A and B are shown apart, each in its own frame.
Chain A
Amino acid sequence: MTANDVAYNGKVEGDVIVTRADAVINWIRKHSVWPMPMGLACCAIELMASAASRYDISRFGMEVMRFSPRQSDCMIVAGTVTYKMAEVVRRIYDQMGDPKWVVAMGACASTGGMYRSYAVMQGVDNIVPVDVYVSGCPPRPEALLDAMIKLQDKIGNESSVRNLRKTNPVATG
């Protein structure tokens, strides 16, 4: 049995479920990701569209978008991160409770995108550890949903205890 399987065969096991802590904890985590919408530019509009009825992110258990970092565990950085805003993004990330994940949505958040200039940080991974990057300018809601499903897979394959605290990783140059 692998770490991300949750198996129960009632005929064999009766009322007892035998599994692994990782499998159960990750199963709980990945089906109720509460995103923190860090909407900084036009990507945030696509983010809103993916929360609305046509694309409906709640099919994946992520409809509870909280604007309070204390209540969130996945920061979706949707938009251009300027150097002036970088400090704020990092502070909000620090205020989120562990375990937490980051999705860099779109070209700007991933690499600086079209903004090759003095004012824009060339990728949010300079200040926070990014789990999933989404390409596009802006990405379509389907692309974001695909990224969130990828994130669910990633959460499912993590060691749930070892990744409890991820506050100090520094991005690669």
Chain B
Amino acid sequence: MIDEDFTKSLLKKHSYLSQRDSIDWFTVECPDKEIVSFTKSMRDDEGFEMLIDLTAIDHGEGEESRFSTVIHLYSLVHRGYVRIHSLCLDNDNPSMPSVAEIYPAANWHERETFDMFGIRFLDHPNLKRILMWDEYPYYPLRKEFPLAGIDTPLPAADVVEVTKASVEPAPMMGGPFVSSNSGPMSDSEPRAKDESWTERKEKPL
């Protein structure tokens, strides 16, 4: 477990840190320009040798700081996690220093975060899309992006010429994987029964 002595000494040692409210693990707020030196000292001095996860949050358009990245570190010495939260200063072209030099596991996590949120990781060794194709123009996990998708041409021109296929918004209604409105799991499963509205046709209020 991460004990209180450790968290106090950590906050004391790095004056730029501040503690964030968290319901589970000890969470710190770290300014983006300190993230590389902080994670390096976490790895070398504090025994947090494992990067568990690196992802981002879109707080929504109109927020003062729209994007932030979240790093989960695990220590086999402390047997516990520390969560590092950093705000991206620029809302239009969000960026963050890459920690792939310190934790090689961050390499693909950062590529996925770039792919889904459009956050550029500075000094990343190979920052390109990992899930969507290279020419894809959107960042699908941003708040304004609809789950169904947006009309987009497919990358291979010769295949498109023969098949006339393109990315089309997926239908959101009905379907075989819609649960009934009763039962213990009905709140956590897709249950759109109303077929009068789709992504193209707004749901009537």
Q: Which residues of A are interface residues toward B (Cβ below 8 A)?
A: 83-84, 86-87, 90-91, 107, 112-122, 126-128, 137, 168, 170-171
Contact = CB atoms under 8 A, between A and B. Distances in A.
A119 B159 contact: no
Q: At the interface, is chain A mostly helix, strand, loop or mixed?
A: loop
A84 B150 contact: no
Q: At the interface, is chain B mostly helix, strand, loop or mixed?
A: loop
Contact of B177 (A87, A114, A120, A128): A114
Interface residues of B, number: 29
A137 B149 CA distance: 23
Interface of B: 131-133, 138, 140, 145-150, 154-156, 159, 162-165, 167-172, 175-177, 190
13 contacts: A84-B131, A84-B132, A84-B133, A86-B154, A87-B155, A117-B147, A118-B145, A118-B170, A119-B140, A122-B168, A168-B162, A170-B163, A171-B163
Contacts of B132: 84, 119
B149 A127 contact: no
A128 B159 CA distance: 10
Contacts of B171: 116, 122
B147 A116 contact: yes
A75 B128 CA distance: 32
A31 to B, nearest CB: 31
A118 B167 contact: yes
A126 B162 contact: no
B90 to A, nearest CB: 25
